[in-house]
Every structure is written in structure tokens, then in C-alpha cells.
Chain A
Amino acid sequence: MSYIIACYKWVVDEADIRINPDLSIDTKKSKGKISDYDKNAIEAAVQAANILGGKSLGLTFGGPETRLSLKDALSRGPAEGCWISTGEAAKADAAVTAKALAAAIQKISDVSLVFCAEGASDTYARQTAPRIGAILDWPVVTSVSKLDIEGSTLTAVRKLDDCLQTVKVDLPAVVSVLPEINDAPIPGLKAVLAAGKKPVTEIKAEELGIDFSPKTDVTEIKGYLMNRKNIILSEGEAADKVKELAAYLRKEGVL
């Protein structure tokens, strides 16, 4: 039975990032999460596996903290999980990440379809799907808002800046989906319990024999500080708050 793979990333939750007065950033309080739009990629893989009669698999690449992601990912439907584990993922750029994922896809070997999301919540670089396609020399379809599978042909509607484009491609292929492709369900208790029993494979990154040196050199990471007045009217009658706000806006001269 062939595999339908959803690539997903375990990321720092951007809402938990604190910015210090010197603009350095503090991610210590951040809990990890599955990158928001990857939930739609996982759902797309689960649905496609049902249609194709294949097996859905969640594939991720990352350091020790990524172990936590597997149960979460599998509670969203995939039959299996696969984790390419490394200590170096923090330094991995898009080139390294795509090479690791592509190498794992080759190792899994019987793969008919690979899904990625539009972009990750942390980097939002939107490189992974096209890069994986290039490395495997597979066809790539990005920005997909709708898809149909018949036999081994996939028909996709791509949302581009100036048009909707319908394309057809024979599998295997790499597809990146937009979040509006589906409603990613919130897993119920049963799904969460079942996830713990699903098979997970760990591949040590070193075993894949790829060059882990990033191509980009990060020279500075700096938080963005929003400097606003933060005058928040929370107490009292609605009518009074509105009156007060209207007075402020008049004073600002923006009406």
C-alpha cells in the first residue's frame, strides 16, 4: 500500500515569544505547537489516503522537542508517524529541511503523494514543497485551494495572484495546500487516545547521509516592539466609553 505523506513542523508558538527591552527575544516560555496551516496539510493527506486506498503518514524533522509533536499529529488522523531526529534542526535552513524530508521520503520509498502547507507559522518561507519536488525531481503543485483525485491523476485548483488555475498531474507529486482546502478537525478524546498506539518510526538524521550545513548565515535576531498608547477603556457604560473614545479621536485629528 503506498504512502500519502503530510510534512509538518513543530514550531515555537509565536504568541508566547517575549521581547526584552534590548530587543533580544525570549522563547523559554513558549510551548511548541504544530504549525497552524500544517493541520490542513495533515487533513488533506488523510482524505487523499482514503480516496487512494493508501496509508497516511505524518513526517516531521526536528530536535528532541519534536518528539512531543507526534501524538498531536497522529491524533489528527494519520495512520503512522515518522520523525527525522536531529540535534541540529535549530540551525537548519530551508535547504537542509527540504533535503532531510526528501531523503526520508526516498527511504520510505512507496510514496504516491506528499502534502505540505502553504508555509510554516515561524518562518513562513513557503519553500519546502517546491524544494522537495526539485530534490526528488517530482512535479510540484503549489497554492492549492481545491483538489480532486481520480485514479492516479490529481486535479488541483491553484489560487494565484491574478487567477484561479486548474492543473492536472499524474502521481507521484508534491502538493502545497492553502488553509481553505479543508476544515482541519479538532481531535476528540478518542482520537487522542488512539494516537498513542499508532506506529512511529524514528530516523536519525545522520543516517540519511546529507549535508547539514545551512546555506544561510543568520547574523541577527531582533524582536519588533510595538510602541502604542494602549489607552484601553474597559470599565463603565458603553455610551460613556464611546464618548471618551470619540473625544480622543477628535484630539488626534484623524476624523
Chain B
Amino acid sequence: MAGIYIYSDKKDIVAELINFAKESEKEACVITFKQEDAEAIKDFGAEKIYVLKGSSQVPENYGKAVAELLKKQDADLFAVGATARGRDIAARTAGYLDCGMVSDVSSLSYREGTVISQRMMYGGTVIQSEELKGLCVVTVPAGKFEAAVGGETVEIITIDVEADSRVRLIETAPVLREGTDITAVDTVICVGQGLDKKEDLQLAQGLADVLGAEIGCTRGIAEERKWLPVERYIGISGAVIKPKLYISMGVSGQVQHVVGIRDSKVIVAVDLNEKAPIFRAADYGIVGNMYEIIPLLTEALKNA
């Protein structure tokens, strides 16, 4: 049966996409791959929950089975939470269906058989609007819609399917999050690759202590140098923050990073290079060596 089909490995996004389906006046049909995952979302108010049962523990391996279900049910749209798993299964499904797909939409609506979406291009330099007709796929980041208020699910339907068994799961190691949510604080000190060595994070910590701030960073500091946990990096592939005050040190300000700080109230940059793009994104800036500037700033703000 037609409807908006939904998948996410994050329960919160499932609830948001159910609401999106309801706003679009379509049936919300959620796809899961385990009975327990279906049970966990049973009172979110979806019209239907499918459990696709197969031999693989990896949801991405069900792309072909999902494509077949969507075709058979004459689905209107496949809306998927934009996480690593979600993007993979979404694009595989689109590949099997040979249909259009819009990744990581910044806005989304569905009207009379047409998907209307916006997304960022060129790292956030450009906003592109797109329309798609007929069965297609979108991935949607968390927080784009209010969560559905809930209610009984009408039906849980279990279907035996064939999974792609060629990719075999050997082991899973949970990534422990340290718990700090840099999207929720008023002040963020952001360190970039201008920092010479890990010990110099002390410099940022000193300023953070004075301002009651949390430390964030650019992608390279977290992913390549591994000096800070990944949940602290800011940008198009990391966290999007809206603090009252953001202060960068040694951050060049490439657009992929700046996208993550655009809605900050006040943006301050300290960088050696006068031409660094971060200054074009900043309210206030100091051109100078952060090893000199940051201790002075820490001192000056102590009595603020």
C-alpha cells in the first residue's frame, strides 16, 4: 500500500519521520530488521511496522530487500535518517530502484506526489532546491521535524527476506561517548590544526575555564590527529552549534567547518593568517599568534 516508508537506526529520527508522514497526509510505514526494534517503536504512532527478517545482522545488507518491498507496496517515498548506516542503506535502495535520491536535506516537504527539498552544496556555500516525482529516497538529519506525539501502531508485519550475506559481521565495539554535548552550551572555544601539539590544548582549556566554555575542534583535530573525541568536531560532517559566543584559535575557516557555526550569536577568530576565510565569517578577529593572544585574552577576561 502507498505511504511514506521510514527507516532509521536512531529512534528519535523514526519519531520525527512518522510526524513528517502525518504532516504529508500519508501513512507512516516504518521498516525494521529485528522484532525488538519494532517493539521499541510500537507506540510511536506509525500505521504499520515491517520487520524484514533475514540472516544478516547488518541493516545495510537489506538494500535489495527494501527496494523490493517498496516496489511491491507502491510506496510514495523512502525517508531515511541521515546517519552512516542510514545513508548507506538509502543509497543502496535507490541504486536497486534506479530512482532519485536527495541526501541530507536541510528542508523537506511532500505535496501531491512531489518531493520538494533543499540541501547544501559546496560545503555549505550554496543551497540547492530540488524536486522529485515518483518513488524516490531522501535522507533526513535529526531535528528537522517535531517528534510524533505517539499512539498505537495498527499493524506489525513480519516478512522473511533474503539479505546480502556477503558482508559478514565479525565484531562490534561500541564507541563510548564522553557525554558532553557541545551543541547545548553557551560558549565554545574551537581549536584548529594551527595547534602544534596535543599538550597545547591546555591553552584552550585555560580560556574555557575562565568563560565556563566547552572545547570544540575542526575535523582534522578529531578524526586525523585524534586529540579530541569525534563528538567535539564542528561542521558539515560533525556537530552544528548555536552558542552565544564562539572563539576559534588556529582554524582557517573552510566552509565545511563554518557551516557548523553559522547560527552562533557572536563569532570571534584568532588566526595567524590575515587572509584566512574564518575572518570573513567572524564578527571580531585578531590577526596574531594564538600562543601569544590566547593567554593574554584569558587574563583579560578573568575579570569580566
Contacts and interface: CB of A to CB of B under 8 A. Distances in A.
Nearest to A235: B287
A127 B91 contact: yes
Interface residues of B, number: 89
Nearest to B283: A229
Contact of A254 (B10, B171, B245): B245
Contact of A139 (B96, B167, B245): B167
B266 interface: yes
Interface stretch (A52-60, A71-79, A161-169, A191-199): A161-169
Contacts of A15: 254-255, 277
A162 B293 contact: no
A132 B95 contact: yes
A224 B166 CA distance: 43
B172 A220 contact: no
A135 B95 contact: yes
B129 A219 contact: yes
Contacts of B292: 238
Contact of B301 (A226, A241, A255): A255
A228 interface: yes
From DSSP, what is the main secondary structure of chain A's interface residues? mixed
Interface stretch (B47-55, B57-65, B147-155): B57-65
B74 interface: no
Interface string A139-164: 11111000000000001001111111
Contacts of A25: 125-126
A223 interface: yes
Contacts of A124: 103-104, 120-121, 123, 236-237
A227 B241 CA distance: 17
Contacts of B102: 216
Interface stretch (B17-25, B29-37, B81-89): B81-89
Interface in A15-56: 15, 17, 19, 25
A164 B172 contact: yes
A65 interface: no
Nearest to A143: B84
A118 B237 CA distance: 11
A190 interface: no
Interface string B124-147: 111111111100100000000000
A234 B279 CA distance: 11
29 contacts: A25-B126, A94-B94, A95-B99, A124-B104, A124-B236, A125-B101, A127-B101, A130-B60, A139-B164, A140-B88, A140-B92, A142-B87, A159-B84, A164-B173, A169-B167, A180-B224, A216-B131, A219-B130, A222-B129, A223-B127, A224-B125, A228-B281, A229-B284, A233-B284, A233-B285, A234-B287, A243-B300, A252-B245, A252-B265
Given A94-B101, A249-B268, 20 more contacts: A95-B99, A124-B104, A124-B237, A127-B103, A134-B63, A139-B166, A143-B84, A143-B88, A158-B84, A165-B58, A166-B169, A167-B170, A168-B167, A168-B168, A179-B224, A216-B130, A217-B130, A219-B129, A230-B283, A238-B296
